[in-house]
Structure 1
């Protein structure tokens, strides 16, 4: 294959007469090989083959064997764009870009139903090389017409996105959910409306995925669809509501944050119909942190055997059972090879029961998101004393994470409520901020420092200083030290 690649590249247009079905069958055989290096090399051959040219002029185009066999080539290029190995995907991307860019714009559209959706999805692929190359390929192929092309081929795009959510590779499922979210935000509602039920059903399935990035992406995507298509999404709310709140108490902070964004979109879509229920859950979640067991109680019921994530290490390292029939991991990634999940949240095998402080942490994110929703301002103000009280509990190790979240979200809370309203409630959080500032945890202390800097810029340094001096003059020294050392 490598020898053939160099022969084609060296011959250029002189190789065109030798392109026939027998040659293509040989190359396609390499593209379907079980060895990924053979597949990668096969796509390198394809890249050389489609670069033979010339394609200028309609007459030359119709006699060019690459264009004549273009339908077969596009199918196999599409197969490579969906390969489980990133190196093979990248080789297929190189060949695809050369194939499309060598054709006149009018001739490319013949192959868009197969290649366009796969190019589009790879813009969100986890491997950086694939992602960046796909984004640049999209710019070169679509130019300023990317949105219009997706709308034109929306049936093929949606069909492939749904197919990708069923992939064995959890990174592909995550990228598919991100692409589905993009459809709701960037594509015209009329183009997507007919596909909303199928897309929402697909996202609901992804909500139960073993991989937390997939659950997170599905959650955010659902929130976008509910905001853009409230009427069409109404029938799925009964199924989605518990999933949203399940993500809000997930053990992964970014999942909790994504759930807060999605729930805020639900409030924007349905307003007063859902707000009382959400506020009631918020109050319960913030109050519940006082019942959080201390760390010694938290781990009191752990078995002495092996832990899934290595929290507890078994002493009998030479036990063969420890090293047989265990969890497999994706090559080049620390993420396990995770399935799509089963029939409900309890079927997700890689989730532990949430802690009460994690649940409260999710509601801290939610309060800051709801502050930006005009219909929820009054209810958010009612929750502020409960929010301040929740971060005062320090009897468990995770309290520093809760304080960190408060410091990260306080500026968004302030901007959502407005300066006048927030200033009257700032005193509720000063003890927590300055406790976090002096905390031994570097992340929490840094978050508190940035929080004070941001509030100083938003409210004005003199106003913040005056409020701090009025509340507790002993905090002024720490405030001045923070302002002196704060990064520009």
Structure 2
């Protein structure tokens, strides 16, 4: 079924197999023919056709009918497709009627000016991908909820004057509206998920149009219609009947929601989740009708807009659901289940779709709180008062969803977080004014109050989360809350502080709340999800870099350094190599910022660094070298001697690599027996894969490497380490420490031995080692300087480079190695001078290979320029 448009939905009915009943197949073409009509939404045949289509999808065929191609439709079978298409047509119908009604009010010039501070600038629900709207089902992450039509522009008003007549009491829309409450009530728990999703969209469209009718009826612009007499009375009666239907829909949703909340479900336990097949099923599939009930409720709440309701919002109309009940109300009816049920769905429900949908409901409730007049702040007090039941539910729900194991739920929590924080800041700005702000704290801290220790750490960590949607959205939220640092690009992300930023901006807020932030980061370093552990390590590194190096805020973080280092040391044993990688870099950053505080743990950290230097993953080896360079920067000559000892020991390690031909290596890689009978995993696998220190963990990727480390990888790590030492300390005029200089007495023997080791070719991975050498040699040459490198170091590698350049004639050499050699030759020639470099190659007969490489480079650059011009045109 295709629900992307009403025409596609109707056309889909004829393609369903087995064929649908004959009446459905006859009705859908007739409705398709009516679609181009300009008076479509006042056409009785169209409205009644929609009702008939939904009726055919709600009742079973009474006899056995013969379909096309001889297929039979069994008696008593109810086909859901006509109902789904009918609901899709209803959503479109009501949205168009709502837009027309808004234009009527605008043309009369009587539409109230909306207070921009009372609503969000964006609607952050999530569409269902079916043309309507919904809340966190399928489709994009942050589109608009169903029926949230904006105010018409002047161009819209001038182009669509045909749609500006007021509604009449005999309009077919009222016949449709009278029938919808029963249809919704009947199908809110339909067995087909697509029908339930469309029911949720219909609820939102119904609520939007119903409340828009009240707005129109109450507008002063309708004074011109006072002479209509009996017609106006009938119209008012019809509108009031629609309101009765709207409230009955709301009651049906709440009854169904309460019933599903009372159902027993598997308890969500972080240690056991997804380990059994039944738990995995409950954690991923749609959970009965509870999810779509929440979708429908969110759409209904978002549809209740305008001054037609008390205070102009859902919460104003249903205020008893959000306040502590009095003794009389408790005896009459217990309504506490509503907020507690939403909290239950967000925090402990086993199904991730339910948790995300519940967070979306809370989001539109926050939006509803802001939909009130300037003089009526009762609803907004639900967000501000620290003992408000609604605020307490929001607090616990955000605590859980912003740290959920599923990115879908974490995204829903991030949307809720932005909406709540934005609302609190608006309320604070209105109530406090310019004179009531404390210059020592940010507006965020003043507005959010007791929520800061819970919200701030989660907002910080989600800026590094692996899922791009969560990461980018959280980074954007951070900029909206704390602004952009002075002198920085708006696209630059991170903690910042400037003289123009009140309270030190995000950097000041984090520093003042260092204790909860550090505790949360340390806890997340031991989280079940490897993506969370990786993000936590990145967050810890940011603390060291931004807070630790700040003259005003460094002392705030100092008491927590030991705790953070312990968390990072634990991550060194992680079976996910990205986590080990980030922990390694973070420790180096901490050593620079807090050298004295790190001294007690330095021996352990140094041992972990040297282990990482021989890791199976090349990027881990490189970042271990970066961390060791940071250690030399922090601790000076004593640390340099320890690092040089590691280099001298590990450079010759490739000589111990066992001999193996390329054919033997390829055969080993393609050995079917070695890859048979192993556990298979995919990105969506539900089984625990990545473990932290041997304990079961849940992740979405398998980064586990279990092969033994090879001797050549130690030599490879030393190449990265030599690059770091040269770039940081080779030049005495630009060294990071005046007491540390890599003189030629130290460096030349190491480079000579490295060149000899890289000439070995008795093992197939030697090409990988030379690839690393050619990639790191240009930055080493630039750090040493033209004269120094040309005089002492160029001749060590020139013959090996020339040989690698000439290996492109099918010798079996890796193409990566050949390409890296060509890139290295081009960069070295640019640094030293192309004539001098070619002259050195002539001495060993390598000038022709060099000329060929340079010609290829020029050809590639020409093609890139041509392609660039074509793209611009």
- Using structure 1 for the length normalisation, give the TM-score: 0.88
Contact 1:404/1:444 (<8 A) preserved:
yes
Task: Work out whether 1:284 is the aligned partner of 2:639.
Answer: no
Show the counterpart of 1:16: 315
Deviation of residue 412 (structure 1)? 1.8
Show the counterpart of 1:457: 830
Distance 1:225 1:261 in 2: 13
Could you say if the C-alpha distance between residues 141 and 211 of structure 1 is closer, same or farther in structure 2, counting changes exceeding 3 Å? same
Task: Work out whether 1:45 is the aligned partner of 2:398.
Answer: no
Distance 1:355 1:55 in 2: 68
C-alpha deviations, 1:160-185, integer Å up to 9, x for none?
A: 10110111111110111111111111
Task: Work out whether 1:194 is the aligned partner of 2:559.
Answer: yes
C-alpha deviations, 1:194-253, integer Å up to 9, x for none?
A: 111111111111111111111111111111111221111111111112211111001110
Task: Work out whether 1:108 is the aligned partner of 2:448.
Answer: yes
Task: Work out whether 1:466 is the aligned partner of 2:850.
Answer: no
| Greater relative contact order, per chain length (Cα 8 Å cut-off, separation 6+) | 1
C-alpha deviations, 1:292-324, integer Å up to 9, x for none?
A: 111369999xxxxxx9xx97533896xxxx47x
1:245-324 residue pairs with structure 2 within 5 A?
245-295=610-660, 312-314=671-673, 322=677
Unpaired segments of 5 or more residues in structure 1?
A: 301-306
Distance 1:24 1:432 in 2: 72
1:11-410 residue pairs with structure 2 within 5 A?
11-12=304-305, 13-17=312-316, 18=318, 19-20=321-322, 21-31=336-346, 32-52=348-368, 53-54=370-371, 60=377, 63-68=380-385, 69-104=390-425, 105=443, 106-144=446-484, 145-187=505-547, 188=550, 189-295=554-660, 312-314=671-673, 322=677, 326=679, 331=684, 337-341=689-693, 350-374=705-729, 375-378=740-743, 379-410=746-777
Which of residues 784, 791, 806 in structure 2 aligns to 1:417?
784
Show the counterpart of 1:303: none
Which of residues 761, 780, 794 in structure 2 aligns to 1:426?
794
Could you say if the C-alpha distance between residues 435 and 127 of structure 1 is closer, same or farther in structure 2, counting changes exceeding 3 Å? farther
Contact 2:340/2:393 (<8 A) preserved:
no
Contact 2:616/2:705 (<8 A) preserved:
no
Contact 2:395/2:451 (<8 A) preserved:
yes
Contact 2:771/2:821 (<8 A) preserved:
yes
Deviation of residue 155 (structure 1)? 1.1
Deviation of residue 60 (structure 1)? 2.3
Distance 2:846 2:463 in 1: 48
Distance 1:405 1:207 in 2: 24
Distance 2:694 2:477 in 1: 36
Show the counterpart of 1:304: none
Could you say if the C-alpha distance between residues 148 and 383 of structure 1 is closer, same or farther in structure 2, counting changes exceeding 3 Å? same
Deviation of residue 447 (structure 1)? 1.7
Distance 2:372 2:718 in 1: 59
Task: Work out whether 1:485 is the aligned partner of 2:852.
Answer: no
Contact 1:74/1:111 (<8 A) preserved:
yes
Distance 1:140 1:281 in 2: 47
Deviation of residue 336 (structure 1)? 6.7
* Count of residues in Structure 1 that have an aligned counterpart in Structure 2: 468
Deviation of residue 71 (structure 1)? 3.9
Distance 2:675 2:611 in 1: 36
Distance 2:410 2:465 in 1: 10
Could you say if the C-alpha distance between residues 296 and 101 of structure 1 is closer, same or farther in structure 2, counting changes exceeding 3 Å? same
Distance 1:273 1:282 in 2: 15
C-alpha deviations, 1:252-290, integer Å up to 9, x for none?
A: 101101100011111111121122232122122111211
Deviation of residue 4 (structure 1)? 0.5
420-429 or 239-248: bigger deviation: 420-429
Contact 2:462/2:471 (<8 A) preserved:
yes
C-alpha deviations, 1:326-348, integer Å up to 9, x for none?
A: 58666379x972221159xxxx9
Distance 1:292 1:81 in 2: 48
420-429 or 162-171: bigger deviation: 420-429
> Match of 1:373, SS?
helix
Unpaired segments of 5 or more residues in structure 2?
A: 1-293, 306-311, 323-335, 426-442, 485-504, 696-702, 730-739, 862-873
Contact 2:383/2:424 (<8 A) preserved:
no
Distance 2:660 2:688 in 1: 27
Distance 1:208 1:299 in 2: 32
Deviation of residue 72 (structure 1)? 3.1
Distance 1:315 1:257 in 2: 30
369-378 or 161-170: bigger deviation: 369-378
Distance 1:127 1:25 in 2: 30
Distance 2:380 2:476 in 1: 30
Contact 1:328/1:336 (<8 A) preserved:
no
Distance 2:382 2:786 in 1: 68
Could you say if the C-alpha distance between residues 232 and 329 of structure 1 is closer, same or farther in structure 2, counting changes exceeding 3 Å? farther
Could you say if the C-alpha distance between residues 376 and 339 of structure 1 is closer, same or farther in structure 2, counting changes exceeding 3 Å? farther
Who wins on radius of gyration, i.e. which is larger?
2
Distance 1:90 1:328 in 2: 25
